[in-house]
Amino acid sequence: MTLPRTPSFRLDGKRALVAGASSGIGLGSAAALGEAGAHVIMAARGQERLGAAVEAMRQAGHSAEALRLDISDVAGMRDAIAPVGPVDVLVNSAGIARHSPALETDPADYDAVMDANVKGAYFLAVGVAHGMVHAGIRGSIVTISSQMAKVGGLDRAVYSASKHAVEGFTKSMAIEWGGHGIRVNTICPTFVVTPLTKQTFDRPERRTWVEEKIKLGRVGEVEDIMGAVVYLASDASALVTGSSLMVDGGWTAE
């Protein structure tokens, strides 16, 4: 009897583009892909912090380079990624959050969140998919979404709306690009300790709300997301597309 073998989680010889790679979940994603053997193109807006992140990757023995990228500038983004050439993996972790009660939503905040989290994420996926199709690459596109793509939350009407939109276009892209062998998925974390969540954790009543909702009794760390990134980027998830991988400590189990 011949036993089946687990598909490889390795990414040796693959090229991966990670947007939002200079901090938080994006930096963790870049490190995870580098550990798995990929060459990582680390993209972000801030040149100084991005340079430090790339240097840290290289010091750890990973293959990495920097790319200055603002996903909210669609035209500029297209120009920036064109010289990079086709990649095998995209992890889009770039995004912003501006929280307020719905009755107090500032239109400028609404536009900023939608420009980055929806429009930017959409056209970055499209740009990378173009390269995959033309090069015949059976690639993987992963967007860092949120548990708020499945539920609502206090002061999060705009942010939640943006992540619900991400889930919608992910499913449609998965349908359209499946014939090319391109897989499109999201990861939906709970509250993870990053600079983006600092404003929530700095408010004791909000931290209490978060901890009471997470069934495992703790908030997330960047390391909790890294395995999910490698799984969706690798052949281990070869039949997974149009899906959301929940890494939410049981928040949405209710």
Of the listed 110, 122, 159, 231, which one is catalytic?
Answer: 159
Asked whether residue 167 is assigned to any structural domain, the reply reads: yes
Among residues 29, 116, 113, the alpha carbon closest in space to that of 70 is found at 116
pLDDT at 4: 96
Asked whether residue 131 is assigned to any structural domain, the reply reads: yes
Asked whether residue 203 is assigned to any structural domain, the reply reads: no
DSSP for 139-205?
-EEEEE--GGGTS--TT-HHHHHHHHHHHHHHHHHHHHHGGGT-EEEEEEE--BSSGGGHHHHTSHH
Buried b (16+ CB within 10 A) or exposed e, 112-137: bbbbbbbbbbbbbbebbbebbbeeeb
| Counted domains in the chain | 1
Asked whether residue 211 is assigned to any structural domain, the reply reads: no
Dump pLDDT digits (tens) for 182-192.
999 999 999 99
Residue ranges of the chain whose pLDDT lies below 70: none
Asked whether residue 239 is assigned to any structural domain, the reply reads: yes
Asked whether residue 214 is assigned to any structural domain, the reply reads: no
Dump pLDDT digits (tens) for 102-153.
999 999 999 999 999 999 999 999 999 999 999 999 999 999 999 999 999 8
**Can you tell me the distance from the alpha carbon of 36 to that of 39, in angstroms, rounded to the nearest whole number?**
9
pLDDT at 195: 76
pLDDT at 203: 81
Segment holding 80, helix H or strand E: helix 74-81
According to DSSP, the β-strands at 39-44 and 63-68 are: parallel
CATH number assigned to the domain comprising residue 104: 3.40.50.720
Asked whether residue 174 is assigned to any structural domain, the reply reads: yes
Asked whether residue 3 is assigned to any structural domain, the reply reads: no
Contact 149, 244 (CB under 8 A): yes
**Can you tell me the distance from the alpha carbon of 105 to that of 85, in angstroms, rounded to the nearest whole number?**
39
Active site residue 159: yes
Buried b (16+ CB within 10 A) or exposed e, 180-190: eebbbbbbbbb
The range of the structural domain enclosing residue 237 comes to 15-192+222-245
pLDDT at 1: 95
pTM higher than 0.85 for the full model?
yes
**Can you tell me the distance from the alpha carbon of 120 to that of 69, in angstroms, rounded to the nearest whole number?**
11
